[in-house]
Structure 1
């Protein structure tokens, strides 16, 4: 892999795994940190000089209580970072050849089944964030730079993210289904995320929107029961919705609601999942975590 890849958000869950993969393939990694974004457009353009690919993974964590300040951080960390990167790339005489930007399946409503051609978006804060986020990415000069936008589901890894927080209570036999458990749980193994991003860098035909989720559609109850089976622990509890709303307020929406999403374009364009089935994915992750 003879590519020089700049990652904005290189210290996050996906960024750390992607950076390690780029190095293992012989590529060169250029981390773009918060200080680089704060030092102005000229400095950022210098950071991106001679870079082949820019991957934008930056954004404040979603999970938590959404105070007005927290909501502003969630929005601005995505909008302003994407805007800065796009303006810098558009102004460069020798621009990177590929820009890969992030979004989330939270853009969709929780009623319909969604592929990348769906326009049935939710009417809530998270969907608005995703729509504004993508609008900034699509201001890229598409005649000079190839753009791919990945709408991520829940990325499964034992190192960080949602699964890490679930493991202790489930290992203690205290894990449970959230509410009725009927809400959908769009998920993807972190290895498939990394492989999809590298595939997008290397495949000239890859452009536009892609749903980064597993082909296996499951609901929250199926996810919880499968995790319990892999850990050989009972799943007998149900976490009441009122408790989650009490703890997280409006932010509980990402736990109590879910989208039914399929990775139509990944499959149609030739990407092959290493972990398309949930039990296989969880077994692999938990084996590595010990």
Structure 2
């Protein structure tokens, strides 16, 4: 099997290249910037995995919000447009999205969803709409995974969250009641492999653990895993000074349930945060 991955140098992309055990073509920025190079890279691929997107864990200035949008929507548009020009199209197109598509403060499955209307939610909606063109216009089996917070020992959100704890300054954010939907990278890769091999129906899935957790409980589990104290409360306004509107990534409360994955018989290796952190820090 031969596949192409956009965002192949990111945390998830690097993990998938090792995990999938297939020939991988990395869709670099240089390839994506040149139509002919992109067509050549996609030629004869059995599947495409679209992971491209600037990190959301930065200060959201107006210019950076534009980068967040274009790195996702415009990249996806380029890939789908290129797929339309291929004589032999891939069997499967897998694209990512985020549980930030849901309304803050609610529990949502894929079938019983309350969608948000803030920047992050609208970003995810437009991202999914662009990806679904592969199915609606080109007839390619298209699966969209709405990622929760991806936990990995090699980077991502967890690396940023653990630093204050290692310095003895860790704690909950605000009142600690906001819900975090998370996923161990091994379970994430397992689900993507099933979609790539067409072992689950092409659809839209929440890629989250079935056991989301409050920020306070998450912080306690992280402190325990690192064997560090948890004395502090981090005021939201301090984070807002650093991240501006991007603070919503840390303070929003989204309880996204992976109902469709469970209905498909998916077995999570790490359904509980304690187990996930134990594996990561063992």
TM range (shorter): over 0.9
SS in 2 for 1:30: strand
After superposing on structure 2, the runs of 4+ consecutive aligned residues of structure 1 that deviate more than 3 Å are: 141-144
Q: C-alpha displacement at 1:39, in angstroms?
A: 0.7
1:12 to 10, 20, 23: 10
In structure 2, C-alpha distance between the alignment counterparts of 1:39 and 1:21, rounded to whole Å: 28
Q: C-alpha displacement at 1:204, in angstroms?
A: 4.6
Q: Which residue of 1 aligns with 2:39?
A: 45
Q: Does 1:160 align with 2:158?
A: no
Q: C-alpha displacement at 1:45, in angstroms?
A: 1.7
Counterpart contact for 1:90–1:141, Cα < 8 Å: no
Q: Does 1:210 align with 2:210?
A: no
> TM (normalized to structure 2)?
0.96
Q: C-alpha displacement at 1:282, in angstroms?
A: 0.2
SS in 2 for 1:127: helix
Q: Which residue of 2 aligns with 1:250?
A: 245
> TM (normalized to structure 1)?
0.94
Q: Which residue of 1 aligns with 2:91?
A: 97
In structure 2, C-alpha distance between the alignment counterparts of 1:73 and 1:118, rounded to whole Å: 31
Counterpart contact for 1:171–1:231, Cα < 8 Å: yes
Q: C-alpha displacement at 1:59, in angstroms?
A: 0.3
Q: C-alpha displacement at 1:205, in angstroms?
A: 4.1
Q: Which residue of 1 aligns with 2:76?
A: 82
Unaligned runs of 5+ in 2: none
Matches within 5 A, 1:101-250: 101-142=95-136, 144-250=139-245
Counterpart contact for 1:95–1:144, Cα < 8 Å: no
Q: Would the alpha carbon gap of residues 258 and 112 (structure 1) be closer, same or farther in structure 2, given more than 3 Å must change?
A: closer
